[in-house]
Structure 1
């Protein structure tokens, strides 16, 4: 017995086809938006690729770009199908392709939903990518004379200024790396020698941060060196006084920025998915309603449309049975190919 059966007359079939045609063109516009969002996210990630550890973060924008292209093609074709549906001569050309097309639409809807889900779930992998990438960026901050790393200082400084952040998790991360280049150190100075000797790795570590960590809104001139030495500055207590540095770590700042972008993109993709599911259901009803017209010469006659030809359980059983037959068919072909091989000469 058919599932969710609905009666259609000529007027309702026309209205359904026209409504689906309009919805498909709206979905074409939505697919362009999804494609553009994926492209924008990809550009934003590439801007800061120097402080990201790997290319896994590009999976979501690549998926959005790909699904946007597919959505454009599918909805363009669906719009054409709906436009031709009420012309018997034109509809006859589409008739053999409608069932396979509807099957592809179902798989496409599943893929669209998974992409939307990935937009919401990518925060974890992005966090680890940023943590390691920023750590390396800070480590190479001083290498302004090293090929391939000479722009790292500018990249990190611009990042901290733009996102109002400092360090990986906070400003204290700069205490653990040598961010001052050796070319700007006076190795004849006793203070420099003592600092380098006191460190096992032979690095020049200071309780200071780069200028880009300074908050220009602070009323006090920026204190970026000897941050933990109260006696080095007048009327200063680093434990109680609010520092004039950005307190937010760059990992959290970037993570919040990209997460808000991907959440918005996920919401748009999810709305498009709901639209696509509605269109697929409408196409199924239009297809079965046109198939049910008993007399093509009488377009005014009533017909029935349905979502599934059988119940959900029976349809699922048929799908499993077809998959089993397909598997057995492949197995028989493989055995036949093995049997047809000539025995090797001894």
Structure 2
């Protein structure tokens, strides 16, 4: 029988792409959701998922959902950044407890929030984690608990990456919340940082495929493994805005500065703006992830050409027609790249 993977957070960007990647690698996929019937209707095109009822804040629910699972993908986040401080640590504790009880490996998508300026500009897996923000401190604490759990017999795989984009859900990501307006035709692009400062982007389908390939070599993984996913490194960060305009056939669309001043004024009243403002430091300096360990282990990092990745994302967000994405001449190359290692 195929191995079973439990995904907590399957309706989010990384969780949804992990479901697809694991299915393609022969896994049976189970997903926990507070309203499983509603989730099954919303994601009817992913009928291969076995939806089970449960709440990530309830330890008994997580433990029950993880029975007979070989991995637990912990991809859950509070929607709209609400109450991060009160939810993310209890949720990771519940996943750890379930993994201890069932013997499952935890798969955790990491970010660059763990790191402060002392680790810039090139981040390795062992770079010092001295965050300067509240959210970064929470990320460090989550990883600390995962490492401690690995010393008690829980297997852990962390894949850290830059800013997410792509996937079946807009989620909490800069591409959808800062650069474009989901559901609206592209008229302009907002850019959060200086145009010349490099920036790292992680296309979620590529990141999920990478995690699935790492799991395919589970016997070669240690009890606690962390890998950095290089993704799309743009030496001139503004290149992302240029590609967005090109794919949308709106080369005349203005590139505007993100209104940081307005975000600052509204942050006491809008939690999403408050959390976005806290991450401004990551746009002021180049922050790149060193994927040498990953490439040495896999031989290759799955990589969709940027124009294909952006076109697919814009189409999913309703910013362009699907036909515009399909007409891109690199589509065949992207499909081929998915199948190589």
TM-score class normalised by the smaller sequence: under 0.3
TM-score, normalising length: structure 1: 0.21
**Larger-Rg structure:** 1
Higher strand share: 2
TM-score by length of 2: 0.21
Q: Determine which structure has greater relative contact order: mean sequence separation of CA pairs < 8 Å that are 6+ residues apart, divided by chain length.
A: 1
